[in-house]
């Protein structure tokens, strides 16, 4: 106990300060770093299950090859001001997206589910003075959002959309491995690459206070990464992704309390295990949780994972999600395997969890393999499956679709977009990618099958797609794209109604 107290006192009195501008979720740099770890060029204790990562920690933990390449695709030049401060311009980003027939695509932050053209622009600055860090990186989104073919089960009329978000902004104080502050950044929790059950960049970033680790905390039994947040969730007048883009009643702002914990055992290198949990309720109901500040604002740490009083718990306007995950990185084989398994509601007791493990469950499972081709060239192979529809157990015990709950009419959303797996309500997705990589240059293919909410429809709406994924750099400009050709079989669950959709995306990033 004395040693723990001494350590905490030292951390407060003598903070270690690193330049820690954040690496945006889904950016070129974010994807590059995971590949570098598979190639053995990055600290193997970084789990990639608690993101965003920070520039300072990557430079400290990466090898010389990683640092050189990282500097070539991300702004790591820091200007000094005063005596101990730092100031830098963040990359300017412009993303453009187009759908020819109906909405398609996810993990695009502030962009909405829409037909036609839309764009998102972002720029900002990062400053650090002592333990204080400020990152201002707003985002502007515009979508033409014209009307598209819809039915009583899917879609809305659509209208022009424009919005300015605080984007990837934060204010933080850092002490050794700890960081705390206020942010509107997108978060990604869990090992998935294309989807995450509880936290992804599918929706706009939301206002949240946070405390957690800024890099892996190494201990005698292994390393830990964690984050605890308290957040405000909002809605707007457009359709809800978790209700097939139909409109829903808006009952007010919500409060989300959530955490993620990842552990890397000292005795099994490359293995990461952990869990995530989120609990939301309407802000108007916070005072009904008792007088304790912990019960009001950190219920995710105090509320049991099973029902304590079934009748009373079901009458509270509270919803929770939880998941358990594993990522196993095999450096010599340049391979990784991962799985996330979650539940969208309480079970009655421990026996109920054991007897009905698939009740209210969803999962993500995937693998990635690097095949060396000589020199700096290699092939990146990836496979991921996301299962969101209910299991056959629903025939005798209904659990409802993920991201919906009778007590929270808006479901697990921010600005009407799902915070977790963004493919849509009750959707199953299988994705295969094969990418040729030479430094920053890339050319890949993507094969994808999207089975949309098969549980509740007689006619199955399935999207089959093939696409190409180019990326290249010219000077200080990096361009990455996606061109996806989609065949929608029995579109909107209509018998023998097939449609073609073109989904394209072009992102441009300028480095200072």
Contact between 477 and 506 (Cβ < 8 Å): no
Mind listing the pLDDT tens digit for each residue in 199-237?
Answer: 999 999 999 999 999 889 999 999 999 999 999 999 988
Which residues neighbour 298 within 8 Å (Cβ) at sequence distance 6 or greater?
A: 228, 230, 257
- Checking if the pLDDT of 3 tops 70, the result is no
Distance CA 10, CA 154 (A): 57
> How many CB atoms are closer than 10 A to CB 180?
15
Between residues 456 and 443, the one the model is more confident about: 443
pLDDT of residue 339: 98
Residue 376 binned pLDDT confidence (cut-offs 50, 70, 90): confident
> How many CB atoms are closer than 10 A to CB 237?
10
Contact between 210 and 180 (Cβ < 8 Å): yes
CB-side exposure of 508: number of CA atoms within 13 Å? 9
Distance CA 489, CA 476 (A): 42
Contact between 247 and 226 (Cβ < 8 Å): no
Q: What are phi and psi of 67, to 5 degrees?
A: -60, -40
Beta bridge partners of 327: 272, 338
Give how far Cα 372 sits from Cα of 37, 89, 171, 255, 333, Å: 14, 35, 41, 47, 11
Which residues neighbour 7 within 8 Å (Cβ) at sequence distance 6 or greater?
A: none
- Report how far Cα 5 is from the mean position of its chain's Cα atoms: 35
Between residues 442 and 84, the one the model is more confident about: 442
Distance CA 225, CA 178 (A): 10
Name the average pLDDT for the chain.
Answer: 86
Helix/strand/coil for 302: helix
- Checking if the pLDDT of 18 tops 50, the result is no
pLDDT of residue 252: 83
Mind listing the pLDDT tens digit for each residue in 389-441?
Answer: 987 666 556 667 899 887 888 999 999 999 999 999 999 999 999 999 998 89
The predicted model gives 374-390 an average pLDDT of 93
Distance CA 249, CA 267 (A): 51
> Running DSSP on this structure, what letter comes out for residue 31?
H
Distance CA 328, CA 45 (A): 11
Between residues 71 and 503, the one the model is more confident about: 503
- Taking alpha carbons only, the member of 82, 92, 178 closest to residue 138 is 92
Contact between 283 and 252 (Cβ < 8 Å): yes
- Report how far Cα 8 is from the mean position of its chain's Cα atoms: 31
> How many CB atoms are closer than 10 A to CB 397?
12
Helix/strand/coil for 156: coil
Mind listing the pLDDT tens digit for each residue in 265-285?
Answer: 999 989 999 999 999 999 888
Mind listing the pLDDT tens digit for each residue in 36-89?
Answer: 999 888 889 999 999 999 876 665 555 555 555 555 555 445 455 545 568 888
Between residues 58 and 297, the one the model is more confident about: 297
- Taking alpha carbons only, the member of 6, 35, 20, 5 closest to residue 378 is 35
pLDDT of residue 348: 58
Q: Strands, E, within 375-440: which ranges?
A: 377-387, 413-414, 417-418, 428-438
For 62, counting Cβ atoms within 10 Å of its Cβ (0-12 exposed, 13-18 middle, 19+ buried), the class is buried
pLDDT of residue 382: 98
> How many CB atoms are closer than 10 A to CB 304?
9
Between residues 290 and 227, the one the model is more confident about: 227
Residue 123 binned pLDDT confidence (cut-offs 50, 70, 90): very high
- Checking if the pLDDT of 351 tops 70, the result is no
- Taking alpha carbons only, the member of 90, 71, 141, 78 closest to residue 113 is 141
**170-174, 246-250, 347-351: segment of lowest average pLDDT:** 347-351
- Checking if the pLDDT of 357 tops 70, the result is no
Residue 1 binned pLDDT confidence (cut-offs 50, 70, 90): very low
For 43, counting Cβ atoms within 10 Å of its Cβ (0-12 exposed, 13-18 middle, 19+ buried), the class is middle
pLDDT of residue 295: 81
Helix/strand/coil for 30: helix
- Checking if the pLDDT of 12 tops 60, the result is no
pLDDT of residue 303: 75
pLDDT of residue 8: 32
pLDDT of residue 197: 97
The predicted model gives 453-482 an average pLDDT of 94
The model's pTM: 0.90
Mind listing the pLDDT tens digit for each residue in 233-242?
Answer: 999 888 999 9
Distance CA 147, CA 158 (A): 5
Between residues 503 and 456, the one the model is more confident about: 503
Distance CA 50, CA 217 (A): 13
């Amino acid at each position: 106990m004395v040693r723990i107290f001494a350590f905490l006192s030292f951390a407060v009195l003598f903070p270690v300060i690193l330049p820690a501008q954040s690496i945006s979720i889904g950016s070129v740099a974010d994807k590059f770093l995971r590949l570098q770890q598979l190639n053995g060029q990055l600290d193997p204790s970084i789990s990639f299950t608690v993101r965003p990562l920070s520039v300072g920690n990557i430079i400290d933990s990466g090898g010389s090859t990683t640092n050189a390449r990282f500097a070539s695709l991300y702004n790591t030049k820091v200007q000094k001001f005063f005596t101990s401060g730092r100031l830098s311009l963040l990359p300017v980003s412009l993303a453009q997206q187009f759908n020819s027939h109906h909405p398609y695509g996810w993990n695009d932050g502030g962009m909405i589910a829409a037909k036609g053209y839309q764009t998102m622009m972002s720029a900002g600055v990062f400053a650090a003075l002592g333990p204080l860090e400020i990152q201002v990186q707003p985002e502007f989104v515009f979508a033409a959002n014209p009307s598209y073919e819809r039915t009583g089960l899917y879609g809305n009329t659509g209208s022009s959309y424009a919005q300015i978000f605080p984007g990837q902004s934060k204010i933080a104080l850092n002490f050794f491995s700890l960081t705390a502050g206020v942010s509107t950044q997108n978060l990604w929790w869990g090992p998935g690459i294309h989807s995450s059950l509880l936290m992804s960049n599918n929706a706009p970033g939301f206002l949240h206070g946070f405390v957690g680790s800024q890099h892996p905390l190494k201990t005698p039994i292994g390393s830990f990464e964690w984050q605890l947040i308290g957040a405000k969730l909002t809605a707007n007048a457009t359709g809800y992704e978790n209700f097939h883009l139909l409109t829903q009643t808006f009952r007010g702002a919500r409060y989300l309390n959530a955490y993620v914990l990842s552990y890397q055992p000292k005795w099994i290198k490359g293995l990461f295990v952990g869990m995530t949990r989120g609990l939301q309720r309407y802000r108007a109901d916070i005072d009904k949780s008792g007088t304790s500040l912990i019960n009001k604002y950190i219920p995710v740490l105090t509320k049991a994972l099973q029902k304590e009083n079934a009748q009373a718990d079901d009458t509270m306007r509270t919803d929770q999600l939880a998941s358990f995950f594993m990522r196993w990185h095999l450096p010599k084989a340049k391979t990784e395997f991962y799985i996330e398994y979650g539940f969208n509601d309480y079970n009655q007791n421990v026996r109920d969890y054991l007897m009905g493990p698939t009740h209210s469950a969803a999962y993500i499972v995937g693998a990635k393999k690097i095949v060396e081709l000589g020199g700096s060239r290699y092939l990146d192979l990836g496979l991921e499956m996301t299962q969101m529809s209910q299991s056959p157990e629903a025939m005798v015990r209904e659990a409802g679709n993920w991201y919906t709950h009778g007590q929270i009419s808006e479901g697990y959303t921010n600005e009407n977009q799902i915070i977790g797996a963004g493919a849509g309500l009750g959707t199953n997705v299988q994705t295969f990618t094969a990418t040729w990589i030479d430094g920053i240059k890339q050319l890949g293919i993507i094969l994808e099958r999207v089975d949309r909410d098969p549980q509740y429809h007689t006619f199955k709406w399935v999207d089959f797609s093939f696409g190409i994924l180019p990326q290249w750099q010219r000077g200080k400009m990096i361009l990455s794209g996606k061109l996806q050709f989609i065949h929608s079989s029995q579109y909107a669950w209509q018998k023998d109604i097939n449609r073609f959709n073109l989904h394209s995306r072009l992102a441009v990033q300028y480095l200072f």
